[in-house]
Structure 1
Amino acid sequence: MELRPIIISHADRLSACREKIEEAVYLIIQGEKLVGFSSTEIAMAIADVADDYILAASRKRVATH
């Protein structure tokens, strides 16, 4: 996948990151037959894991500053 040139700013980096990972995330979500959960359940679990990761990263950042 070819990314468009981006200006280094928070919003552009987030958009570029999403473009890079979106297809892989959808493949995981659509793997419902492999894991026995609905695609909605898988998407919610991914969001929950991502939320936990962000919270842990923010705590780590606060602790190191």
Structure 2
Amino acid sequence: MANPEHLAILNQGKEFWNEWREENPDIIPDLREADLSGTNLSRANLSRADFSCSFCTWRICQFI
């Protein structure tokens, strides 16, 4: 199950997310089993994020 805090940060937008990632480089974002189908992840820093069993469409997740 995804970390609710990580999902809440991602849902605040890619700028907020990327800033949080810069401030917390040692945290591995836990987005396991998250439904990201309505989330635009383009240009979001998703390096090292765990997307195991997450649901999203190819159009949205092509940058993961």
User: Which is richer in helix?
Assistant: 1
Q: Select the structure of larger CA radius of gyration.
A: 1
Higher relative contact order (CA 8 A, sep 6+): 2
How does the TM-score come out when normalised to structure 1? 0.24
